[in-house]
Structure 1
Amino acid sequence: MFSSIMKAAVAATALFGSPALADLGRPTLFSDGLSSHVNKEFLQYMPSTPSINSSWPWGWIPKRCADEAKRHKVQFNSSDFEVFNVQYEDCEEAWIFCRHTKAQLSQSQLIDYFGRLPVHERQSVSHVMAVPGRGSAYEAGGVVVFQGKTASLSIFQHEVGHAVDAYNNPDGSSSSTQEYLDAIDGDTCVPDDYANSSNVEAYTQVGVLLMYNTVVPGGLDNIGADYTCLSKQLAVVAARQQAAMQLGGTCSWRHPYGKVVSMDPESGNNKRAVGPKPVMNLVAGHPLAVEKDINRGGEVTYYGNVSSDEAEDALAVEKQASWNAKARHRAVRRNI
């Protein structure tokens, strides 16, 4: 639950370019966090995006994933990751996922929860990762990393929201603008205890509430609390991010994929055949590729282990199997 969230610095190459204001010390809209107030409605009104997925040849991994695997206190071997592409129907280029084989999040959960977010938020993310852990997550330079049992749309929205904060607007991080800092000063509350930790976290938690207001019929008027105490923050986040929260549409830009590296010397010392090196097509010069500053990191958010909706998870498995089967059938038909 968000009420038990603690913060810890992640060993990233660089921190946010603008320092975060720590310990805002404001009253909160919800003392028990946001997840219990939004997740049911998110699952209801943010549908799964149809997709197909395909595994990478063994022995290769994106350098961004390999680098993040080494940032953890307990480092992970690159050879313990399964790498796969996910092609959502709303973008011509796939996202690359890197999942540790012992991660608590399943492949289908990663595909489903990430794919429920609007495409104009997803496009701020370069890679999606899952590793074993005790319920935490972070975003660094466009890579979102989920550790442990974190199958929650509010968690995915929050972490992807950090990338949107950093990359959605040409003038840089929205949470560090004077406009947003003034909004915090002008309001009388922040969303929850977690939002009190800094302006960066307040911005992304306000983003969770704004997503609710955007996709749920009746919006925040139905959330069961007087949200006018943070109306100025909502207005700033809406001006800078709400267009990206609209469901539908297609991607308008993407981070380049970056380099592909060998899992060697971890790839089993020839115990398993190494496949052909994947060819990256989302590179400089591609119409969608936009170079952004990825030399920035965030902080690990500790959520504790989160219980997912088992019925929705099972339905996601069925949907993804059906979409993949239809894609294979179309491929066969084209070759007849």
Structure 2
Amino acid sequence: MRSVALSAAASAASLASLASAQLDKPVIDPEFPSGALDQGLNDHLRAPGSSWDAWEEGWIPEDCKNMIEGTEFSVQDITPFNIHYDDCEDPWVFCRHKDSPLSEDYIVDAFGKMPVRFRSFVRHMLFVPGTESAGSSGDNVQMNGDLPITVFIHETAHSFDGHHGLPDIEGGFSASQAWLDAYNADSAVTDDYGQTSQAENFAQQTVVALFDSNVPDGVASIQPSWQSIENQFRLIQDRAADILRPDGTCTSRLENSAPVEKGGSARLRPSASTKPDVSLKGKIKVIEPVPMGAEMEMAQYDASGKVVGTKVVKVGGRE
């Protein structure tokens, strides 16, 4: 689910308004089989070699702290950890609550299966326990409960969308005339969630585009009516081919948010000498981050993985 706060990149007001409006096309018929997209992606995407290591106690990335302060959980129960992948010189820094049902190993594998240049549009992810739901603010993602790889892809797609992904599109990919033309050329959208706005439709279509690019026989192997959404996912494949290609190395990255103290009693406060160095060391282009908003809209999932509602949560420390 996209952040309530609009991306700074979404400056074309007339197009951006279309990206947030309820869509008028029906859901594809028949609907996608439950779990089929997850299964195909997990079977055919390969994560690079990887390792992870936890931060010393007392520090947390500022953006993770802001997200956790918008929940009922304590920042003291969050452990930041570095994820090192063989296809990028610099690690990602993610944050996990001690009771999250998603283990560090699962997180490293699921995130690593996404193409590295697509992965590069995520700054931090926060994983907490609770009813299955997910949302994003700026370039950060919050994941509640036990969530599959399609949710990782969907939330990353919002950040990719907000950064355009493509140099010749203004106002975000999902607000561009090229995207609206592709939408208008089709007769359906992926699901009920994709019907809610062009931003959500784009994110869902990105999941389909990645599946079609990497699974033998593509989306036609699980969806007999695939041609009714073809113009949309083909546009993503054609215009973002390098970003969605599952090979190569990272060429650009978001900088990490600054390490800050978790706070609490003096006993829990770290020494300045242990402050993590989160600066990027690799010779890559730095992507300017999108600021976090004051609120984040979370999509809520049922046991089958279908979105059944939304909720808005505060992002701590934001006005």
Interval containing the TM-score (normalised by the shorter chain): 0.7 to 0.9
Counterpart AA for 1:124: F
Q: Which residue of 2 aligns with 1:157?
A: 153
2:279 matched to 1:288?
A: no
Q: Which residue of 2 aligns with 1:320?
A: none
Deviation readout 1:108-146 (Å, 9 max, x if unpaired): 111111111110110111112101220011122111211
Partner SS state of residue 290, structure 1:
strand
Counterpart AA for 1:278: P
Query: Quick check: 1:213–1:220 contact (8 Å CA) kept in 2?
Result: yes
Q: Which residue of 2 aligns with 1:329?
A: none
Q: Segments of 4+ in structure 1 off by > 6 A?
A: none
Query: Quick check: 2:237–2:244 contact (8 Å CA) kept in 1?
Result: no
Which one of 139, 143, 146 corresponds to residue 143 of structure 2?
146
Deviation readout 1:208-236 (Å, 9 max, x if unpaired): 11111100112123223221112221232
Query: Quick check: 1:38–1:154 contact (8 Å CA) kept in 2?
Result: yes
Shift of residue 37, structure 1, vs aligned partner: 2.3
Query: Quick check: 2:94–2:124 contact (8 Å CA) kept in 1?
Result: yes
Shift of residue 34, structure 1, vs aligned partner: 6.2
Partner SS state of residue 61, structure 1:
strand
Q: 1:281 to 1:182 in 2, by over 3 A?
A: same
Which one of 121, 133, 137 corresponds to residue 134 of structure 2?
137
Q: Which residue of 1 aligns with 2:275?
A: 277
Q: Which residue of 2 aligns with 1:252?
A: 251
Query: Quick check: 2:117–2:251 contact (8 Å CA) kept in 1?
Result: yes
Q: Which residue of 1 aligns with 2:308?
A: none
Q: Which residue of 1 aligns with 2:314?
A: none
Query: Quick check: 1:103–1:132 contact (8 Å CA) kept in 2?
Result: yes
Structure 2 CA distance, aligned partners of 1:34 and 1:199? 22
Query: Quick check: 2:255–2:280 contact (8 Å CA) kept in 1?
Result: yes
Q: 1:81 to 1:124 in 2, by over 3 A?
A: same
Q: 1:35 to 1:108 in 2, by over 3 A?
A: farther
Query: Quick check: 1:175–1:200 contact (8 Å CA) kept in 2?
Result: yes
Q: Which residue of 2 aligns with 1:106?
A: 103
Deviation readout 1:178-229 (Å, 9 max, x if unpaired): 2112222221101111110100111111111111110011212322322111
Query: Quick check: 2:35–2:304 contact (8 Å CA) kept in 1?
Result: no
TM-score (norm 1): 0.79
Partner SS state of residue 40, structure 1:
helix
2:111 matched to 1:120?
A: no
- How many residue pairs end up in the alignment? 291
Partner SS state of residue 96, structure 1:
strand
When the two chains are superposed, the root-mean-square deviation of aligned CA atoms in Å is 2.4
Structure 2 CA distance, aligned partners of 1:271 and 1:90? 35
Counterpart AA for 2:107: L
Query: Quick check: 1:187–1:232 contact (8 Å CA) kept in 2?
Result: yes
Unaligned runs of 5+ in 2: 11-15, 306-319
Alignment of 1:68-107 (within 5 A): 68-72=67-71, 74=72, 76-107=73-104
Alignment of 1:162-173 (within 5 A): 162-167=158-163, 168-170=165-167, 171=170, 173=172
Structure 2 CA distance, aligned partners of 1:218 and 1:33? 15
Counterpart AA for 2:64: C
Deviation readout 1:260-317 (Å, 9 max, x if unpaired): 10111x2x4405865711122228xx6325242412556311113569xxxxxxxxxx
Counterpart AA for 2:254: H
Query: Which structure carries more helix by proportion?
Result: 1
Alignment of 1:187-266 (within 5 A): 187-264=186-263, 266=264
